[in-house]
Amino acid sequence: MNNSQQNQEPLLPRTGNYRALYTYQKAEAIYDITYYFAKNYLQRGDRTIDQMVQAARSGKQNIVEGSAASATSKETEIKLVNVAKASLQELLIDYEDYLRTRNHRQWENGSVELLKMRDLGRKHNNTAFYMPLVRVRPPETIANMTICMIKQTDYMLFKQLQSLGEDFLKNGGMRERMTRMRLDRRR
């Protein structure tokens, strides 16, 4: 193998480690909290249980699937990350509905609780940190905590989508990489 072949980009680049993504870590914590919340605070037989758990799961799983698809399809990766974002938006509405229909207060912008939760959300991403807090809080506090986490994750996914889009515009996708590599090999 000559020197120019050794320095070439690989046809299939390594896909990212989704577990290292803050968006995945936060989405996993949201899923675990939602599972706990739905099973403990929603009435058995309520369709909302399945809807909330599935929306939380979809948020998490689509980040994984997008990351796995990234080696061969940047378009698929972008679409799946956007599906994760949309799923978490659906879940956000479910938590807001829970608070509204039970006449619970949703933390206002600038409230002490919201500011403290935002700060926690900036510092912590994983389930191991959040679940002990969740298990000793009333359901309206859990709902508000999760709303804050969803909003933070939504923003992070927005930034991730911007980055993926910029990377696609700069480097192209699989077809462009294959064409570049074929042309390089011919030279």
98 burial (CB, 10 Å; 0-12 / 13-18 / 19+) is buried
- d(C-alpha 50, C-alpha 53), whole Å: 5
Structural domains in the chain (count) = 1
Q: Single out the residue of 95, 115, 128 nearest to residue 29, CA to CA.
A: 128
In this structure, is residue 39 part of a structural domain? yes
pLDDT above 90: residue 179: no
Residue 35 lies in a domain: yes
pLDDT averaged over the chain?
Answer: 88
Residue 51 to residue 127: CA distance in whole angstroms: 21
Q: Looking at residues 61-80, what average pLDDT do you find?
A: 86
- State pLDDT tens for residues 129-156: 999 999 999 999 999 999 999 999 999 9
Residue 128 has pLDDT above 70, yes or no: yes
In a domain, 10, yes or no: no
Its pTM stands at 0.84
Instruction: Please report whether residue 159 resides in a domain.
Output: yes
CA distance 83 to 81: 5
Residue 115 structural domain:
19-186
Q: Domain for residue 6, yes or no?
A: no
**Is 93 domain-assigned?**
yes
| Highest mean pLDDT pick, 4-18, 44-58, 163-177 | 44-58
At residue 1, the pLDDT reads 45
Domain for residue 73, yes or no? yes
Residue 164 lies in a domain: yes
